[in-house]
Chains A and B, each alone.
Chain A
Amino acid sequence: RKEVEQDPGPFNVPEGATVAFNCTYSNSASQSFFWYRQDCRKEPKLLMSVYSSGNEDGRFTAQLNRASQYISLLIRDSKLSDSATYLCVVNPTRGSARQLTFGSGTQLTVLP
């Protein structure tokens, strides 16, 4: 079983739609959680951290359920520019960037 599992998609949604991605992780001791975005043939970039209380950044909302070892990302009012692969990332070590564990990514295409 992979340490971080994501639905690979692809998700094809119209502009303005709301889309949700889910991710599960196997290491119950994991300490910090992130969503990264990766455009085609580009490097991953941090989208947002995920906190236990849930957090929002504009159209993006991230949720963490430690009991279920489940992370989600909700994108509201999708834009064409949101088209990318979204990587769920887990860090087993508190306060350290060492050994980030990436999921395989969920591909999103927002259609005009």
Chain B
Amino acid sequence: GAGVSQSPRYKVAKRGQDVALRCDPISGHVSLFWYQQALGQGPEFLTYFQNEAQLDKSGLPSDRFFAERPEGSVSTLKIQRTQQEDSAVYLCASSLAALGELFFGEGSRLTVL
């Protein structure tokens, strides 16, 4: 596809469940970012990849959050033992290089009950 694709678009999890969110960046985009957007707030940075290398994970809120991009294309954000405060929209974005405009996917909306 032409844009950043994320799945699932909606996920409901029971507290304590593990979830995995997938991001397909724009083909050829080297840089990939994950952001978390809580209701009524702006997106907050979670982590950044350049190709397969995770160069910055300073925004991950706890060790329950883990992201990977093993082949430098598709990325997965995994949240273990979900908590209610993890409920948010998780946005993936990609850019052609470290420079340049970010293109966001529509996000994965996670609700933890």
A residues apposed to B, CB below 8 Å: 4, 8, 42-46, 87, 89, 95-105
Contacts and interface: CB of A to CB of B under 8 A. Distances in A.
A15 to B, nearest CB: 26
Contact of A97 (B40, B102, B105, B106): B102
Size category, B interface = 20 to 34
B2 interface: no
A99 B45 contact: yes
Given A97-B33, A100-B45, 20 more contacts: A8-B40, A43-B104, A43-B105, A43-B106, A44-B104, A45-B104, A46-B101, A95-B98, A96-B99, A97-B98, A97-B100, A97-B101, A98-B31, A98-B55, A98-B98, A99-B56, A100-B102, A101-B45, A104-B41, A104-B42
B91 A97 contact: no
B102 to A, nearest CB: 5
B29 to A, nearest CB: 11
B42 A43 contact: no
A44 B48 contact: no
Contacts of B100: 97
Contacts of B95: 97
A5 to B, nearest CB: 11
A73 B59 CA distance: 28
B18 interface: no
Contacts of A45: 104
A8 B41 CA distance: 9
A85 B22 CA distance: 26
A107 B91 CA distance: 20
